[in-house]
Copies of this chain bind each other. A is one copy, B any other.
Amino acid sequence: MPVQEAVTAVEDEEKTASDTETTVPRTKLSGAPTLERVAAESGVSRSTVSRVVNGSPKVRPEVVEAVNAAIERLNYVPNRAARSLASRQTYAIALLVPERVMTFFNDPFFASVVQGITAGMEDSDYILNLLVSSSDPTRKTRRYLRGGNVDGAFVVSHHAADRDLADLCDIMPVVFGGRPALPDLAACHYVDIDNVQGARTAVEHLVVSGRRRIATITGPDDMLAAVDRRTGWLHALQAAGQRADAIAVGDFTEDGGAAAVRTLLSRWPDLDAVFVANDLMARGALRVLAESGRAVPDDVAVVGYDDSPAATAMRPELTTVAQPSETMGRRMAELLLALLHGDEVEPPPLLPTTLVVRETG
C-alpha cells in the first residue's frame, strides 16, 4: 500500500522544491522533517503519526513500528512551537530564582536543588526556563509568566514571601523549595526538609555527649528554615529538661556568626555547646571561640547546619547537619510533574536530615 503514498511524497517534495523557486522561503525549507513527511514516508496519515508520537494505544502495533522506523530514518523531531500552539500546552516550566539566591555566595545548597530538579525532569518532555528575578520582578518576567508561556513553575528560594508568587499559584501549578512564607499555604505546593528534626537531632547529640548549657545561633526570623531549626533546638532542650534561653540571632554570614557567639559568650560564659543554624556562621563562631581561648570541642562543642564544603574546610572539621538537597529537587520535579499530569497529589513528607559527626562536637 505504500505505493500511492510514495507518489504523494514525491509530489510533495517537488511541490516544495518549486515553491522554493517561486516564493522564496524565509528559511531553508530543507530543514526539519514534519509530521506530514513522516506520514508520507510510512504510508499513513498525519493523524496516525501524531498518535504514534504521542503514544496513543489505539494504533496497530505493526503501524507503530512502521511509523517509528520512518521517524528514525528521517530523524524526525516534533516541532515544539506547533505542538504548543495546537495543544495549548507549552511543555515548559519556569525555574524562578530570586536574585538574592544567585548572589548568595558559596551556597551549594541551591545548586544541588537545581541539579535535583533537572535530574527529575530528565525523562519528561518538559524543559526549564530560567528566570532570575530581582526582588522587584521585572515587567518582562511577570508578562512572561502570565502570558501563558509556561505550564508550571518552581520557586527556589530561602524566603519566598513574594506577593506575586502567591498569585502565581492561582494561575498554574507552582512547587516551592522549602515551605513558602505565604499567608495561604493551602493553595500551593512545596517540598521541605525537616529542619525541626534536623536541629533536634543535632542538639540531642549534644545532650547525649554530656553538654549542659547548649546555646544556639539562629538565622533571621523571616526565614522559615531558621525558625524551624530554632524550634528543633528548643524541643530537644525541653525534652532533656535543660534551660533553653541562650539564643543569639545571626544573619547566616560568617561575620554574623562571629558577632552572635560573642554576644552569647558575654551573657552565658558557662555555655559548653552551640548549635549554629548554618555552617558559615559556625565558621565565624569557631574563629571567635578560638580567639577567646576556648578549646573546641573540649570546652565548647559546635554543631553547624548544611554540611557545605566549608564544613570540611574548617579546623577542626565541623560537625553538622546534612540536608538532602538534591533529593529535594528531585521531589519537587516529581511533584510538579504529577500536578501537571493532573494527578491527585498529597503533600510530600518532610525530608529527613543526617547528622554528620566530625571534630567539633
Given A132-B115, A147-B32, verify A106-B103 contact (CB < 8 Å): no
* Contact in complex: A102, B90 (CB < 8 Å): no
The smallest C-beta distance from A71 to any residue of chain B, in angstroms, reads: 12
Q: Quick one: which of A42-79 are within 8 Å of B by CB?
A: 77-79
The smallest C-beta distance from A116 to any residue of chain B, in angstroms, reads: 10
Q: Quick one: which of A102-138 are within 8 Å of B by CB?
A: 102-103, 105-106, 108, 111-112, 114-115, 118-119, 122-123, 127-132, 138
- Across the interface, which residues of B come within 8 angstroms of A95, CB to CB? 130
* Contact in complex: A27, B77 (CB < 8 Å): no
Asked if A208 lies at the interface with its beta carbon under 8 angstroms from chain B, I say no
- In the bound complex, what is the Cα–Cα distance between A324 and B132 (angstroms)? 19
- In the bound complex, what is the Cα–Cα distance between A165 and B88 (angstroms)? 32
B90, B102, B103, B115: the one within 8 Å of A103 (CB): B115
Indicate the size class of the contact surface on chain A: 35 or more
* Contact in complex: A81, B77 (CB < 8 Å): no
Asked if A2 lies at the interface with its beta carbon under 8 angstroms from chain B, I say no
Asked if A85 lies at the interface with its beta carbon under 8 angstroms from chain B, I say yes
Interface CB pairs A-B, < 8 A, 8: A80-B84, A81-B84, A82-B85, A85-B85, A103-B108, A106-B106, A122-B138, A129-B130
A102-B115, A254-B313 given; name 15 further pairs at CB < 8 Å: A32-B148, A77-B143, A78-B147, A80-B81, A81-B84, A82-B85, A99-B115, A102-B112, A103-B115, A105-B308, A106-B309, A115-B132, A118-B130, A127-B131, A287-B315
